[in-house]
Structure 1
């Protein structure tokens, strides 16, 4: 195949058969949706993951078990299966009128479903990092906060969480890049992100498989590397000397 393959990098500047835009426009459109899904899902994951990770470290056993159940469910069920459950199963379980609205009239249903599924899946992984960051701190810090008259919630807010987040920036960076790469599953419900566009381009061009896959791959690498550089700057500025980073 490699010997007979006809390279055509100019294909990206050709107009698609069904419209007046180029394949390059398709790719950039897909990149935009990929970034949008990743960022929106990350907001959900960071918010919920911080809450669940904190719950897993509280002294109340019942609350800690709720956090544990959340992590075990969303971390152990494959992201693609979770996406299908949210897209196909959950609407059927809703009240009839709401179910019909979700299935027929809900705007951006595919995008919202992908963001929700990816955000919840990633929140379990973020929760584990937050838990590890809190538990890496000495017990003396919690005791000191309580001795100063803080409530348990205030001790977390002003003492434990600010320090824990500074420690876990490197693993959080990895989780963000995982969320960015996992956004590719959104193609399964019809979101025009990079994976979907590259597959569509292969079909439309009639065989420019390598070009259609290489360019999205390079874009994934560039975006992931840029995110890694940004988080490295934040890590250097917020580094806590003497603390081991949670893994």
Structure 2
């Protein structure tokens, strides 16, 4: 009967500890960039979803449904394997050979598009929850529609939907694990690399689980502090945030 030989020390021995730290750094970098881009694009698309401009509204609806309904893994495969084949050969060669860390930026594109379609719906819900009187008051004060949304409606909407945006931010960081499928050396990839070299899969996988748990707890903590700081007096906020 085989007996598993536990060896937790591999998690900090070289080079395995260095591999895991490198993977964590890539995961955090990827998550932060994608969260920022997703929120930025989500605000734009979410605003387009309720605009009176019909072409913009149709574009936003199509964008949301397309990127939200297709599994993220399929989208990553498309951007990495299929999309380059649609480009001229010289452009394709330039992308693969001249763009540093090409796989990383492909994941940034795919994950940001996917996550922004989900965040856009949260932003749209936040805008719709604001009384039309807010917009009418701004317009009657001399604001243009653009100024009213930029200075009044959107700031209020984003503050109202911080709790669901927290969930989306967590999803972004957890979805970075799929980056390993296109060769990005993030936490999950590195944990599997450690397993392949040491045959200690339990330790390596446990380390990956703990790392993701720590990252998500940090994100929740930061978003909780942000929610407290930006809470709007008199409006419902997440329980325990005041």
TM-score category (smaller protein):
over 0.9
Query: 1:99 — aligned with what?
Result: 92
Instruction: Determine whether 1:115 maps to 2:114.
Output: no
In structure 2, the partner of 1:47 is 40
* Offset of residue 245 of structure 1: 5.4
After TM superposition, give the deviation of residue 154 of structure 1 in Å.
Answer: 0.7
Q: In the aligned structure 2, how far is the partner of 1:147 from the partner of 1:23?
A: 63
Q: Which residue of 1 aligns with 2:133?
A: 140
Residue 243 of structure 1 aligns to a residue whose secondary structure is coil
Matched, 1:194 2:187: yes
Contact kept? 2:42, 2:117, Cα under 8 Å: yes
Question: Which consecutive residues of structure 2, in runs of 5 or more, have no partner in the other structure?
Answer: none
Answer whether contact 2:231 2:237 (CA < 8 A) is retained.
no
Aligned to 1:130: 123
* 1:241 alignment partner, SS class: coil
Matched, 1:231 2:223: yes
Deviation at 1:209, TM superposition (A): 1.3
- CA deviation profile, 1:45-92 (whole Å, cap 9, x unmatched): 111111000100112232111111111011111111111111111111
> Match of 1:88?
81
Q: What residue ranges of structure 1 are gaps of 5+ in the alignment?
A: 15-20
Q: Supply the distance in 1 between the matched residues of 2:172 and 2:211 (Cα, whole angstroms).
A: 15
Aligned twin of 2:21: 28
Give the structure 2 partner of residue 17 of structure 1. none
Is this contact kept in 2: 1:12–1:22, CA < 8 A?
no
Tell me which residue corresponds to 2:59. 66
Return the offset for 1:29. 0.5
Q: Deviations over 1:116-173 (max 9, x none)?
A: 1111110001101110100000011111111112111111001100111111111111
Secondary structure at the counterpart of residue 175 of structure 1: helix
- CA distance in 2 between counterparts of 1:188 and 1:137 reads 41
Show structure 1 runs of 4+ deviating over 4 A.
none
Indicate if the aligned counterparts of 2:11 and 2:207 stay in contact, CA closer than 8 A. no
Alignment of 1:160-239 (within 5 A): 160-206=153-199, 208-239=200-231
Aligned mates of 1:226, 1:237 — CA distance in 2: 17
- Aligned equivalents of 1:29, 1:104: Cα separation in 2: 23
TM-score (norm 2): 0.94
Normalising to structure 1: TM-score of the pair? 0.92
Q: After TM superposition, give the deviation of residue 38 of structure 1 in Å.
A: 0.7
1:218 counterpart SS class: helix
Rate the CA distance shift 1:232–1:13 in 2: closer, same or farther, 3 A: closer
Aligned residue for 2:6, secondary structure, equals coil
Report how far residue 241 of structure 1 moved. Answer: 2.7
